[in-house]
Amino acid sequence: MIKLLSTDFDGTVVDHFGAPPVSPEFLVALAWLRKRGVFWAVNTGRELAHILEGLGQFASPVEPDFILTAEREVFHRSPDGKWQDYGDWNARCAAAHDVLFSQASSLLTDIEEFLRVHVKAHPIYEGTRLIGLATETDEEMDRVCEFLERERRRVPGFQFMRNTVYVRFCHEAYSKGTALGELGRLVGIGPEGIFAAGDHYNDLPMLDGTHARWVACPENSVEAVKSTVLRAGGYVAQSRCSFGVLEALRFFGALDGLH
Ligand SMILES: [Mg+2]
């Protein structure tokens, strides 16, 4: 039985090319599930402020119970309603990344050099730390990812998360998947009670069946996501974004009783 939903946001809940961008029926279904005690976690690559803005814009009036941001951090509400760290996961995550980035300095210098010489890319910095990059085309990002896949092995634990033409560097122990696993642990719900849906490469760690038993993706997902979902015994929807997630929830029987 599904007790916790973990949905990506852009391309999974929100269709930026769609009219409407979010299925009204999907929002009704979400509200109905939440009334029955099912938790909703938005599991996104966005930072906290940016996802709150997106939720206000698209998913109102349904509010998530949890927000997992930057493909790795876990937030819940304080008693006064403010979003705050849930447990010590975010602190452990930050510490692991401090160590990782200090060990990766020569790799990061080589990545900067590769970007300068070989592709039209825009490095992204947090202070002086190179934390990721954006390219102008998917093809350029393919080439960057080939390079990163080859070179990342120089630094134990170094991984990267691709989402369309963006990449964020990260520790392999921290992903949408492990963050969801930690949320499940904190709320006492195991993988057999968890549904996850996503559309892009950065969603793969929550869609392989490890952290969620019920996995799905909308029609607009990249091939790697569709094949991962199928391998995990999940559902590949025939419609886009939230229309597809709604289809998956119906397929798994989560909406039985909703008319
Ligand atoms: Mg997405």
CA of 43 to the centre of ligand 1 (A): 9
C-alpha 151/C-alpha 24 separation (Å) is: 45
Output the pTM of the full model: 0.95
Strand partners, 83: 77
CA of 219 to the centre of ligand 1 (A): 12
pLDDT at residue 61, as a whole number: 83
CA of 160 to the centre of ligand 1 (A): 15
Instruction: Give 24's contacts (C-beta < 8 A, 6+ positions apart).
Output: none
The answer to whether residues 255 and 35 touch, using CB atoms and an 8 Å cutoff, is: no
In 3D space, the residue among 23, 82, 15, 83 whose CA is nearest the CA of residue 54 turns out to be 15
C-alpha 4/C-alpha 58 separation (Å) is: 21
The answer to whether residues 133 and 180 touch, using CB atoms and an 8 Å cutoff, is: no
User: For tokens 């005690």, what's the residue?
Assistant: 37
C-alpha 6/C-alpha 39 separation (Å) is: 9
pLDDT at residue 119, as a whole number: 84
pLDDT at residue 73, as a whole number: 98
In 3D space, the residue among 147, 155, 153 whose CA is nearest the CA of residue 114 turns out to be 147
pLDDT at residue 19, as a whole number: 93
The answer to whether residues 71 and 178 touch, using CB atoms and an 8 Å cutoff, is: no
CA of 6 to the centre of ligand 1 (A): 12
Average pLDDT by consecutive 10-residue portion of the chain (259 residues)?
Answer: 97 95 96 97 96 89 95 96 97 98 97 90 94 95 96 96 95 98 98 98 97 98 98 98 98 93
**4-71+175-251 belongs to CATH 3.40.50.1000:** yes
CA of 163 to the centre of ligand 1 (A): 7
CA of 220 to the centre of ligand 1 (A): 10
Say if residue 61 is preceded by a cis peptide, omega within 30 of 0: yes
